[in-house]
Structure 1
């Protein structure tokens, strides 16, 4: 499981102190106001931000000494972060080898992953030839093909229309049930994921204010704060 205990980060205008536990195999939806520290939490887990104190472990392994590339986590950003000059297959292949010198088996794995996210036949298409939803599927495939057991999704579907956003969330849920992965996903529409997530964490002012089952969080005393955070996102 992922265990974060009193991980503190400070800047001149912001301070964060995170404590959160996410069981293995769970999908944890991270909600909260803009600027409240959701993305910082994911960046800290990925290694892009280093806490001044506290502990961060996954499956019993201390992650803090590890560089981002050495951590068991793959991250998908809101803007998908694809290389425009590379094909869909090549962008996914980067999740296996940055050199893109793939073996026959690895190329087959890339094709299988594109098929798994509903992009069979898109191997040679470049990002500019795909819709926003298709580009996010490529980014998701790249994260999953890496084989890393911890997937971090930072508002990956916020630019999509409600129906497509819901489809992508259901796709993530389907894929994680077929593969042994733990997922943290920041999202500003908690209603889209309430029936899918195992866990929901409300993050505000740089802290995990509360964490638990989505139904419990959304009907708790935090409900007015959550409603305000969603309306201001």
Structure 2
């Protein structure tokens, strides 16, 4: 479980208040208008935005006093940050050994991560030879290789076409279940949230609202979320 305990998150001149908990082993969407602070919530959990007050816990252990590298968190952004001169296998291996000095066991772990995202047959290709969806699969495999229980997704599939985006969402849902991950997914697409996330956090007016059932929330959204969704009044 993830818990933000009366937390005040300070991102430059912007502050976000969060007092909520997220059930472990599930996918939870983070939704709200542009600039509301959705990414701030994830960045604080990952250690890149300071906690000015309160605390953050994962599995009942306080983590906001830990450096980013020591937190039980992996994060995937829209920009996959693949290295064009490296093979798919080596790009994934960077998540395990930045110097690419791999033991036999390390290589087995890399191959396992590639198999989990259905890219084992493309391991020797360069990123330029892959589709956008395949490139994001490489980045996801690299993220999973860190073997952290919390997976943070900051709109990683926003630039993909509808078909590829649906493929990636299905993959995230499967991996969340198979690996018992606690996944937080920032998205601007309410359909994506409803597709794989049973619950959703709304970020609005400087507050992250505790999770609510996604379908219920989208059926009867608060006023500012209704405006963002293009509805003049909540339905």
TM-score (norm 1): 0.92
Residue number in structure 2 paired with 1:171: 171
User: Quick check: 1:113 aligned with 2:113?
Assistant: yes
Distance 2:126 2:7 in 1: 40
- Aligned 8 A contact 2:40 2:49 in 1: yes
Residue 227 (structure 2) aligns with: 228
Matched length: 230
Cα deviation code 1:108-137 (max 9, x no counterpart): 221121122121221122222222111111
Question: Moved runs in structure 1, 4+ residues, more than 4 A?
Answer: none
Alpha carbons of 1:167 and 1:230: their partners in 2 closer, same or farther (altered >3 Å)?
farther
Looking at structure 2, the residues matched to 139 and 221 of structure 1 have their Cα atoms a distance apart, in angstroms, of 33
Structure 2 equivalent of residue 148 of structure 1: 148
- Classify the secondary structure of the residue corresponding to 1:101: coil
Please say if residues 77 and 154 of structure 2, whose CA atoms lie closer than 8 Å, have aligned partners that are also in contact.
Answer: yes
1:44, CA displacement in angstroms?
0.5
Superposition pairs for residues 5-20 of structure 1, below 5 Å? 5-10=5-10, 13-20=13-20
Q: Which whole-Å CA distance do the structure 1 matches of 2:221 and 2:160 have between them? A: 30
Where in structure 2 are there 5+ consecutive unaligned residues?
Answer: 231-235
SS at match of 1:121: helix
Q: What is the rounded CA distance, in whole Å, between the counterparts of 1:206 and 1:166 in structure 2? A: 31
Partners of 1:76 and 1:157 lie apart in 2 by: 10
Q: Report the aligned-residue RMSD.
A: 1.7
Alignment of 1:11-30 (within 5 A): 13-30=13-30
SS in 2 for 1:66: coil
Contact 1:74-1:148 within 8 A present in 2 as well? yes
Cα gap change, 1:190 to 1:135, in 2 (>3 Å): same
Structure 1 counterpart of 2:205: 205
Whether the aligned pair in 1 keeps the contact of 2:204 and 2:224 (CA below 8 Å) is: no
Is this contact kept in 2: 1:31–1:188, CA < 8 A?
A: yes
TM-score relative to the length of structure 2: 0.91
SS in 1 for 2:165: helix
Q: Name 2:101's counterpart in structure 1.
A: 101
Distance 1:93 1:176 in 2: 21
Unaligned runs of 5+ in 1: none
Q: Distance in 1 between matches of 2:145 and 2:190?
A: 27
Would the aligned equivalents of 1:32 and 1:230 in 2 still touch at CA under 8 Å? no
Change (3 A) 1:11 1:180: closer
CA distance in 1 between partners of 2:12 and 2:142 (Å): 35
**CA offset digits 1:32-56 (Å, max 9, x no partner):** 1111101111110000111111110
Tell me which residue corresponds to 1:34. Answer: 34
- Counterparts of 1:11 and 1:214 in 2: how far apart (Å)? 27
Shift of 1:219: 1.6
Match of 2:233 in 1: none
Q: Distance in 2 between matches of 1:207 and 1:81?
A: 31
Aligned partners of 2:9 and 2:40 also within 8 Å: no
Change (3 A) 1:226 1:167: farther
